[in-house]
């Protein structure tokens, strides 16, 4: 499954809008509770549907009614599964964060002793994601643009995630031996986040994101001491 919210779960997995085999009427009448495993299947279907809708339309652009209808469910089943929409959004963002770090770790694992190639691999993997028609950028970055100051839990979650991205890039810049590792790490983060946002405007890889990898290499070269090998 792709990171940063690029999941399009129902379509990718061929999940029907009534995965549990029960009807909305069955759910509302309480028959779901009597079927072993049915409640968890309903919850999973609601969650998967919400992930898809939040990613494509935004967390504030989708309401409980739309999620329930798209999932082939109803509001009663929704609130049996999640205490509130905010609780669902929180779970969605945590799932996107988990998937993102799994994607990151897989990308860098191919070059365990070469921090420069690890950074380049991240941007190569990002470009591969951008080539997907379903790519709508970074799920948590998109959420950050929607979250207001009074949404403390969501703000804290997104901020902690972005701080961890920054910390990892700083560490990789240090490992490369950059003269100013913090500045290099911050510049890399700007390119990483900026690439996702420009993907929302320009189709596929036709926009500025296609120039990200050459820019990354130029930045690294500019920050390394003259004559220093990338993997030292």
What are the chain's domains? 9-82 (no CATH), 87-223 (1.10.357.10)
Closest Cα to residue 95, out of 133, 134, 44, 56? 44
Mean pLDDT value of segment 127-150: 83
* Amino acid 204: pLDDT: 67
More confident residue, 20 or 135: 135
- 172-186 residue pLDDT tens: 999 999 999 999 999
pLDDT at 225 over 60: yes
pLDDT at 230 over 60: no
Torsion of CA 45, 52, 165, 122, to 10 degrees: 110
Q: Hey, how many other C-beta atoms are within 10 angstroms of the C-beta on 194?
A: 15
Q: What is the residue-averaged pLDDT of the chain?
A: 82
* Amino acid 157: pLDDT: 92
The two tokens of residue 84 are 């509130």
Give the Å distances, CA to CA, from 117 to 88, 107, 143, 171, 179. Answer: 37, 10, 30, 14, 18
* Amino acid 22: pLDDT: 42
* Amino acid 210: pLDDT: 86
Mean pLDDT value of segment 92-104: 95
Mean pLDDT value of segment 112-135: 90
Contact (Cβ atoms closer than 8 angstroms) between residue 32 and residue 133? no
The two tokens of residue 182 are 């913090």
- 198-214 residue pLDDT tens: 877 887 667 888 899 99
Q: Where are the beta strands (DSSP E) in 114-204?
A: none
The number of helices, as runs of H, and strands, as runs of E, in the chain is 11, 0
Angle of CA points 155, 95, 157, to nearest 5°: 15
Mean pLDDT value of segment 117-136: 88
């Amino acid at each position: 499954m792709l990171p940063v919210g690029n999941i399009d779960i129902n379509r990718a997995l061929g999940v029907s809008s009534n995965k549990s085999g029960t009807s909305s009427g069955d759910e509302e009448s309480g028959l779901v509770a009597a079927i072993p495993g049915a409640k968890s299947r309903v919850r999973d279907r609601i969650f998967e549907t919400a992930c898809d809708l939040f990613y494509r339309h935004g967390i504030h652009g989708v309401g409980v009614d739309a999620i329930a209808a798209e999932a082939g469910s109803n509001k009663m089943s929704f609130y049996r599964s999640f205490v509130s929409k905010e609780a669902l959004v929180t779970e969605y963002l945590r799932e996107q964060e988990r998937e993102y770090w799994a994607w990151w770790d897989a990308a860098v694992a191919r070059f365990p002793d070469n921090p420069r190639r690890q950074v380049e691999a991240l941007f190569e993997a990002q470009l591969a994601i951008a080539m997907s028609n379903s790519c709508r950028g970074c799920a948590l970055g998109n959420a950050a643009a929607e979250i207001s100051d009074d949404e403390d839990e969501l703000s804290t979650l997104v901020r902690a995630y972005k701080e961890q991205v920054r910390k990892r890039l700083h560490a990789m810049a240090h490992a490369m031996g950059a003269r100013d590792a913090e500045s290099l790490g911050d510049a890399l983060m700007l390119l990483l986040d900026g690439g996702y946002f420009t993907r929302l405007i320009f189709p596929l890889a036709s926009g500025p994101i296609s120039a990200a990898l050459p820019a990354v290499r130029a930045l690294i070269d500019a920050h390394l001491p003259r004559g220093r090998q990338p993997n030292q």
